[in-house]
Structure 1
Amino acid sequence: MPAPYPLIDMPPGDFSNIFDFQAINMAAAHNQFIQGINAMVYHAPRIPEEKVQPFVKFSLIFLEHLHHHHTLEETLLFPEFEKKLGQGSLSVNIEQHHDFVPQIDELERHLKDIQSEKVKYDGKALVERIDGFGDIMIEHLNEEIATLESSRMRSAFTEKELKDIDAAFMKEVMASLDLYTALPFSVVCGNPATPWFPPLPAPLKWATKWWFYRRHKECWEFGQLDLSGKPRPEYGI
């Protein structure tokens, strides 16, 4: 079984500074995905039969969240950045998606076949599938941060322009998310070192813990954190 994939170090700067924010926010988001893939790798060979279906649902929620992130990057965020950074200036990020997304799509189809009981669950085989693309994916998640480096943003955008892009992006994020999956996932696959991410207002944090978790409550035990954001001891965090 592969060792846990290392989390990304937070870029320097101030999260409240819109120029620094781009790389810091992206690194924090990417760490959620690394937490998600680490959770799958940790649990896959340990799952008892009665918890296979909840674990598969958790895994599919993670992959759905990852797809949502990539889709909004490719269709909204990066095209807006390229208007000032230059056409194709972020194309490497999208090209890297093509290096591992097909394998994620295949993993998703496999999980859905397990969910529908077309195929039998095999935890070792599941880890082998993840191991087939994990290193490439982690490399991409790390390298993408440098393309959003603070000085690069500052050289091309005004503060207002970046704030307007961020506001439009977040509006689309919130309009297209399933709050019953995305919010609990963001908590249980959070990073204890960045408890401020995602920057949810207090009422939404409360609602996540006491309401939004309920629809898929059987899934959230597989994250590294509990719904209060506290690390689960079995992960050694």
Structure 2
Amino acid sequence: MLALIVVREMITIHNALIRGLTSIYLQCVNIEKSPEDTPDFVAFCKIWGESLQEHHEMEETDIFPFIEGATGTPELMKSTVEEHRAFDAGLADFMTYVWKVDAGEEKYGGQKVKASIEAFAPAMHQHMVNEIPALLALDKYSDKVDWEEYWKKKAAEIFEKKSSDPTAKAIGLPFVLSCTDATFEDGVHPWPPNFPWMAKMTTRYYYFPQHGNWWRFGPADSAGQSRELPFARAG
């Protein structure tokens, strides 16, 4: 059933991205009080944005075209893609600023980051909420598409790609881990979904510690347990 195959994975990814942005928002102002920690925080911000952009690119260039082709329904996912466009500009502004700070071209300003997030976060959050029922509605096409078989192949493809990409292994997967609450809904949303047990352990015990100074800004430790944010703002 699609609800158990695709939707559960999307919930895990969406929750990680929402938690990551929430963590950035709660810490972006107070981090200014600790200039020595700011570069690590900026790296976390950059990886968050790049992860979201990669997620949407995969949807628009791979997953959604497959869905539309397999169901024989052109533009079936058009409204979902239009929701991406609703906050593209705001996300681009955020990322441009973060990249410039990371490159030393601009000075970090917590209030600027905060205002940037406030400009695009509502539309982003609404999209991520809307996308789940949109995917659930695809169950009516189960007579045309074997969703289970498709997602097994897609998960294997994603795993193979990330396994052969040093950056994905050392940065992408640990980032997701740092924003995944393993206790959410009694742990029914595994991290990462459909990944082999050994890959999870390698990420947790080998790759995660390599940039632990970045992942400390995430809301979860390497075991997926919630933790206090080091620079969370008061109130």
Task: Name the TM-score, length of structure 2 as normaliser.
Answer: 0.84
What does residue range 1-237 of structure 1 map to in structure 2 within 5 Å?
17-18=1-2, 20-47=4-31, 48-85=34-71, 86-149=73-136, 151-158=139-146, 159-161=148-150, 163-168=152-157, 171-172=160-161, 178-191=168-181, 192-193=183-184, 194=187, 196-199=190-193, 200-234=195-229
Matched residue type, 2:22: N
Matched residue type, 2:132: I
Displacement of 1:170 after TM fit?
Answer: 5.0
2:5–2:151: 8 Å Cα contact kept in structure 1?
Answer: no
In 1: Cα distance, 2:201 partner to 2:156 partner: 23
Paired residues in the alignment total 219
**Which of 173-182 and 48-57 deviates more?**
173-182
Matched residue type, 2:214: C
2:162–2:169: 8 Å Cα contact kept in structure 1?
Answer: no
Q: Which has the higher contact order (CA 8 A, sep 6+)?
A: 2
Which stretches in structure 2 are left out of the alignment for 5+ residues? none
Q: Alignment RMSD, CA only?
A: 2.2
Change (3 A) 1:224 1:147: same
**Which of 174-183 and 59-68 deviates more?**
174-183
Which stretches in structure 1 are left out of the alignment for 5+ residues? 1-16
In 1: Cα distance, 2:2 partner to 2:191 partner: 15
1:58–1:219: 8 Å Cα contact kept in structure 2?
Answer: yes
Local SS of the residue matching 2:192:
coil
Q: Percent identity?
A: 24
Task: Name the TM-score, length of structure 1 as normaliser.
Answer: 0.83
* Structure 1 residues 32-77: Cα deviation after superposition (integer angstroms, max 9, x where no partner): 1101110110110111211110000011011111111111111111
Matched residue type, 2:42: V
1:19–1:153: 8 Å Cα contact kept in structure 2?
Answer: no
Local SS of the residue matching 2:85:
helix
